[in-house]
Amino acid sequence: MPVNPSSPTAMSVSLISCHSCHQLSKVAPSDKTRAVFCPRCGARLHSRKPNSIARTWALVIAAFIFYIPANVLPITTVISLGKAQSDTIMSGVIYFVKSGSWPIALVIFVASIFVPLMKLFLLTFLLISVQRKSQWRPKDRTRLYRITEAVGRWSMTDIYVVTILVALVKLGSLATIEAGPGAVFFAGVVIITIYAAMSFDPRLIWDAQESNNER
Amino acid sequence: MGRCTKSIIACHECDLLHQRQSLPVGGTARCVRCGAALYRHRQNSLDRVLALTVAGLILFIIANIYPFLTFRLEAQIQQTNLMTGIIELYNQGMWIIAGVVLITTIVMPLLQLSGMLFILVPIKLQRRPWKLALLFRTVRSFRPWGMTEVFMIGILVAVVKLVKMASIIPGTALYAFMILIFVLAASAVALDPHIVWKKLD
């Protein structure tokens, strides 16, 4: 049940909600310039995540850059009887398609190629919409943000596949699997996009609605 | 608003203020504006989480000492445990990936489970846990980085990839790890963090 429809948000009545324990604290105007901490749990208080837009942009751009070597460089190298064969993420997907393992090909394609790209495009869209103070469907944009937050972790799948392959296939000269440099960049993409989603503040979507109502 | 702020909560996704209301057992309050989950009511929340945490720690130990997967190709047998892949990646010079896998599949679940044990046992004994605010804050902030369920999908894919060239034998640790995933998920669902935070008031 909303408290008061005419002054709806915590920020509009000088309250800050603790990001950790959700306790509301009253802030004096003089507190704007110095660090304030939650009286209950001790977490640093911020009305909005600090420098949310700039940080998220920086992380999104970094992740876009890492995405290229992650897909071009090999993530695994199979050394079998003196012959070395390198695989990228995409050639792994193609291998599973050719060998008839459609569901597995789909899992890798979605987790390693589709999800990171979708996340980056969604965050880019959210950033631009917030910077333009867009009024377009704030509820749906908040939903899109929730998706970017929830799906990011599943991209780690390929890193774990490499870990298991490396552990199991150690048969000396017969067959050995080594992790390739692409895996390092790919792990980078996954971690950077998780941080990017964390640093974006969905409340900025709603702040634009309020500033419009006041006008 | 002054003194009644304890009964008010701001939506963490759109900042709209809501009056806290009593919920039916198992209920979740959602933001009227953006639909985010605000708070929930769970029956015997702390007892359930404590039971699941103890179960989780036992499963975690089993998952780390027993064989995880065994790879057999004719006479060649390669037995692994949970740490083997991490050590092998480190030996190949891939220490970044080794670190990422170690943190997300072993360190974070362990910190999560042991942190909750340190918080919940004293609460059950009617004592104030040591450094409760810092500890619970840290445990909560680690949540996104425990990725045991994603690891399971990785195992599945790797096994499908190898099963045509060799036989893969699942070990005790694999079963323990699979149950651990469900225990961790159940404990995340059973927890009502507000009860723990209220101990600080």
Q: For an interface test with A, give the residue of B157, B162, B167 to mutate (most A CBs within 10 A).
A: B157
Spatial separation of the C-alpha atoms in residues B115 and B117, rounded to whole Å: 5
Q: Using CB atoms, which residue from A3, A19, A184 is nearest to B12? A: A19
| Nearest Cα residue in chain A from B5 | A24
pLDDT band at B5 (very low <50, low <70, confident <90, very high): low
Q: For an interface test with B, give the residue of A164, A192, A203 to mutate (most B CBs within 10 A).
A: A164
Contacts of A174 in chain B (CB under 8 A): 73, 76
- Mean of the pLDDT values across residues B93-105? 96
User: Cα dist. A154→A85, A106, A122, A147 in Å?
Assistant: 27, 13, 16, 12
> Which domains can be identified in chain A, with CATH numbers?
1-47 (no CATH), 49-214 (1.20.140)
| Residue A98 pLDDT greater than 80, yes or no | yes
Spatial separation of the C-alpha atoms in residues A19 and A112, rounded to whole Å: 30
> Cβ contact (<8 Å) for B197 and A21?
yes
Tokens of A131: 């910077």
Going from N- to C-terminal start, the domains of chain B cover 1-41, 44-198
Q: Using CB atoms, which residue from A142, A164, A194 is nearest to B13? A: A142
- What pLDDT does residue B100 have? 96
pTM of the model: 0.91
> Cβ contact (<8 Å) for A17 and B9?
yes
| Residue B3 pLDDT greater than 50, yes or no | no
Nearest CA-CA distance, residue B103 and chain A, Å: 12
pLDDT tens-digit map of B54-71: 999 999 999 999 999 998
- What pLDDT does residue B2 have? 42
**With pLDDT > 70 as the criterion, what percentage of chain B qualifies?**
98
Nearest to A212 by CA among A135, A138, A142: A135
> Cβ contact (<8 Å) for B137 and A21?
yes
Phi-psi region of B73 (alpha: psi -120 to 50; beta: other; left: phi over 0): beta
Average pLDDT, chain B: 91
| Residue A14 pLDDT greater than 90, yes or no | no
| Residue B4 pLDDT greater than 70, yes or no | no
